[in-house]
Amino acid sequence: MSSPIQGNVQPPVPAPPPYRHRRSFAGPIVLIILGIVFLFGNLHMISWARLGTLFAHYWPLLLILWGIIKLIEHQQAQRDGLPTRGIGAGGVFLVIFIVVCGLIATQAARFNWGEIKDNLNIDNGDFDNIFGQTYSYDNNLVHGLTPDITSLRVNNDHGTVNVSASDDNKITVTVRKRIGAENQGDADRYNTETMPQFTPAGNTIVLDARTQAANDHSVQSDLDISLPRKMQVQITSRRGDVSVNDRQGEVDINTQHGDVSLEAVTGNVKLNLEKGSAKVAQVTGDIHIDGRLNEVSVTDVTGSLQLDGEFDESVKLARISKNVVFKSSRTDLEFSSIAGELDLDSDDLHAEQLVGPVHLVTRSKEINLEDVSGDLRVQDDNGGIEVSMRSLGNVQIDNRSGDIHLSVPDKAGFRIDARVRDGEIESDFPSVKIDNSDRESTASGTVGNGASHIVINNEHDGIEIRRVAPQPPQPPHPPVPVVPPKPGRNLPAPNSKVEPTEN
């Protein structure tokens, strides 16, 4: 007989299968979005520059999308009574990667890249072919003039500007344009958007190259402009060389990162340059140049010249008829005129045929002044000074750590007072009494009629006063060469009167 206990035994319940966590869709969806964005870039459906700008501003949306997907997955797991899966190591790495790249892009977007490119002298066109192509366009503009229009103002952000004279009463512009784009259609659109245009403003006509109308796309417009000679010209350019020739009106140029060339101008000239060079020749009028320049060359000027700013490489002057003023952080120089040449760089100053009064204050330069006429005042530190006088006036020379050599005409009359510490004094004039001691040397005396007064002070080096033979008469200032008109230009009638330009 069976036991009743054995009949009530229940069969064992099988254990439920282990639960498999659902995979998160947040990471794959974010990667799909990023992949689609980069695909658009490779297919040139959107520019890489635009993609970078969008990512710099809107990258937090990727984290928001990630969070929304994780919240939906969490709620779905609660409804199913299942545990919620965490982010995981791969998700943490992707989030960190997005945050780091986003912060870098945001900071990069805040930089003034235009200023950085300017300081490094990088042209937008240098990168046109990295992610796109360069397309060229040629256009022509003609604008008729009325009698009340007396000046032209040119605005060109990127490109050269060449101004020449015309024989008609029109402004003719030839535009040579280079556009960086990813396809021909975009380039055609940018060309239309950046077409130069004329705008009247009182007695001035304004020519705007409109290179910025295509936003961040690279557009370079080179302008060749011909207009009547007597029109005044004002040019503003950020990047590009400027050339102006054959003008009978005032010229005003303001440019950055470009060289300026002027020739055969009757009228006042004003130049403001940053990181460029200036070459000016044959000007009948006054010239004012300021800014930060590399090289400056000014020759054959019948007016005055003023230079203010910083000059990194060299300054060359020749045949300036009126007063010259040069001012920089290191050198102050002023004289009445120059019939010869002057060459100034960071270490040396050499000039010939200066007409005084000459006033020079500088430091750490080797100074050589030849055939100076009139009064002279020189002050230098840490450099030698050599001066030869053609016509003696009052002279004062002060120096430290450099020899002083002064040559005066044989028949000149002067009184001299000289002193040097840690050096000796030498003289070719017997009437000058010299006392050379161990610590300090002095010289004094009168030569001839004593009409001029010479004062020389030096520290740590010697002084020499030399006698030179009389110089031949100085030739007159050569006239400024006149550029003959080009063939086909209208010539003035014989004995016709030319109206002078007001300076």
55, 82, 111: which is the final residue of a domain? 111
pLDDT score at 493: 39
Verify that 133 and 49 share a domain, yes or no.
Answer: no
196, 230, 254: which is the final residue of a domain? 254
Residue 495 has pLDDT above 60, yes or no: no
* 35 inside domain: yes
* 373 inside domain: no
pLDDT score at 475: 56
pLDDT score at 449: 92
pLDDT score at 63: 80
Verify that 43 and 68 share a domain, yes or no.
Answer: yes
Verify that 105 and 137 share a domain, yes or no.
Answer: no
Share of the chain above pLDDT 90, in %: 53
pLDDT score at 22: 56
Residue 145 has pLDDT above 50, yes or no: yes
Q: Is 448 helix (H, G, I), strand (E, B) or coil?
A: coil
Share of the chain above pLDDT 70, in %: 78
* 386 inside domain: no
Average pLDDT over residues 206-229: 89
Residue 237 has pLDDT above 50, yes or no: yes
Structure confidence at residue 44 as a pLDDT band (50, 70, 90): low
pLDDT score at 102: 79
Verify that 75 and 141 share a domain, yes or no.
Answer: no
Average pLDDT over residues 197-203: 93
Q: Which of residues 128 and 465 earns the better pLDDT score?
A: 465
Verify that 249 and 129 share a domain, yes or no.
Answer: yes
Q: Is residue 319 left, alpha or beta, with left meaning phi > 0 and alpha meaning psi from -120 to 50?
A: left
The single-letter DSSP state of residue 464 is: E
Digit-coded pLDDT (tens) for 415-431: 999 999 988 999 999 99
* 261 inside domain: no
pLDDT score at 217: 74
Verify that 82 and 142 share a domain, yes or no.
Answer: no
Residue 62 has pLDDT above 90, yes or no: no
pLDDT score at 260: 96
Verify that 68 and 158 share a domain, yes or no.
Answer: no
Digit-coded pLDDT (tens) for 86-101: 666 766 777 788 788 8
Identity at 314, one-letter amino acid code: S
Q: Which of residues 23 and 136 earns the better pLDDT score?
A: 136
Verify that 102 and 135 share a domain, yes or no.
Answer: no
* 132 inside domain: yes
* 326 inside domain: no
Digit-coded pLDDT (tens) for 286-334: 999 999 988 999 999 999 999 999 988 899 999 999 999 999 999 999 9
Verify that 129 and 104 share a domain, yes or no.
Answer: no
Residue 180 has pLDDT above 80, yes or no: yes
* 56 inside domain: yes
Q: Which of residues 12 and 326 earns the better pLDDT score?
A: 326
Q: Which domain holds residue 238?
A: 125-254
Lowest mean pLDDT among 156-165, 178-187, 227-236, 377-386: 178-187
Answering whether pTM is above 0.75, one says no
Strands (E), 209-268: 219-228, 232-239, 242-247, 251-256, 260-266
From 98, 257, 42, 239, select the one nearest 158 (Cα to Cα).
Answer: 239
Residue 176 has pLDDT above 90, yes or no: yes
* Most confident among 99-103, 216-220, 337-341, 465-469 (mean pLDDT): 337-341
Digit-coded pLDDT (tens) for 113-144: 555 555 545 554 444 444 458 899 999 999 99
pLDDT score at 94: 72
Verify that 49 and 103 share a domain, yes or no.
Answer: yes
Residue 492 has pLDDT above 90, yes or no: no
Give the chain's mean pLDDT.
83
Going by C-beta distance under 8 Å and a sequence separation of 6 or more, which residues neighbour residue 161?
A: 154, 222, 223, 225, 235, 237, 240, 241, 242, 243
For 196, the token pair is 């130069």
* 197 inside domain: yes
Average pLDDT over residues 64-92: 72
pLDDT score at 427: 93
237, 254, 271: which is the final residue of a domain? 254
Verify that 92 and 134 share a domain, yes or no.
Answer: no
Residue 341 has pLDDT above 90, yes or no: yes
Structure confidence at residue 85 as a pLDDT band (50, 70, 90): low
Residue 79 has pLDDT above 90, yes or no: no
Q: Is residue 382 left, alpha or beta, with left meaning phi > 0 and alpha meaning psi from -120 to 50?
A: left
- Asked if residues 198 and 206 have their Cβ atoms less than 8 Å apart, the reply is yes
Residue 225 has pLDDT above 90, yes or no: yes
Going by C-beta distance under 8 Å and a sequence separation of 6 or more, which residues neighbour residue 297?
A: 278, 279, 280, 281, 315, 316, 317
Identity at 293, one-letter amino acid code: L
Verify that 51 and 164 share a domain, yes or no.
Answer: no
Q: Which of residues 354 and 481 earns the better pLDDT score?
A: 354
Residue 500 has pLDDT above 60, yes or no: no
pLDDT score at 61: 83
pLDDT score at 130: 46
Instruction: Report the number of distinct structural domains present in the chain.
Output: 2
pLDDT score at 10: 59
Interior CA angle at 441 toward 436 and 442, to 5°?
110
| Phi, psi of 63, rounded to the nearest 5 degrees | -70, -40
pLDDT score at 38: 74
